[in-house]
Amino acid sequence: MVLTYLRLDPPSDPGLPEGYGRDRVAAARLVVAAIEAEGGTAIELEADLSDAEGHARLFDAAEQRYGPVDILVNNASGWMADSFLPAHTTSLERSVGSISTSSFDRNFAVDARASALLIGEFARRHVARGASWGRIVGLTFGGPTGFPDEVSYGAAKAAQENLTMSAAFELAVHGITANLVHPPVTHTGWVTPAGRSSSNTAASSSTSPHPTR
């Protein structure tokens, strides 16, 4: 297994837990160790998936270590909260900026464009070697219903959903399936007690907007 990660500066947002900032500057060694403890093997590669030229290098590294890639998991995110409203603070005391070129591009560069380019690279190599079995799995938390206070993120995830379904149609003839997983709110250090409470409240009402990422 090849894990990609990117270390980022801690966010300067009082509404985010301190531990979340520590996680953003950490490498993926702890994840690798957890996989190895269960008997698996994994390597970590730091990669900025917004780099449109770097995707082939990831596959080259994976093939050098493990051989041809049969499974692609699109789980990375360039998440940056933005809104159509002026900059404000949410009910969870998190800062949200007004939508901008920067916020839009940051979300789409990873969640949509990187997903598309990785799928394309995966498919090209799969077809070139005449393989007959492959799997693409995308993780998303958003979609066509809208995503208040995270409008670019939600739109990028909706694009990822469309891209993945297009892959399912186009690549089925080559033995590749493509599916999306919509996990619930996952505690990666980002969720505060207030956010967890809000998520539980929203889960009880199908008409509630998405409360958190």
The residue with greater pLDDT, 204 or 43, is 43
The pLDDT of residue 205 is above 50: no
Give phi and psi for 136, each to the nearest 5. -120, 125
Over the stretch 66-105, which tens digit does the pLDDT of each residue have?
999 999 999 998 888 999 999 999 887 888 999 999 999 9
Q: What is the pLDDT of residue 195?
A: 63
Question: Could you tell me the residue ranges of all domains in the chain?
Answer: 2-203
Selected from 3.40.50.720, 3.20.20.210, 3.30.360.10, 3.90.1150.10, the CATH number assigned to the domain covering 2-203 reads: 3.40.50.720
CA angle 165-4-121, nearest 5°?
45
Residue with tokens 């505690």: 187
The CA–CA distances, whole Å, from 60 to 54, 75, 171, 198 equal 10, 19, 21, 43
Over the stretch 116-143, which tens digit does the pLDDT of each residue have?
999 999 999 999 999 999 999 999 876 6
Rounded to an integer, the average pLDDT of 57-62 is 96
SS3 (DSSP) at 131: coil
Q: What is the pLDDT of residue 208?
A: 35
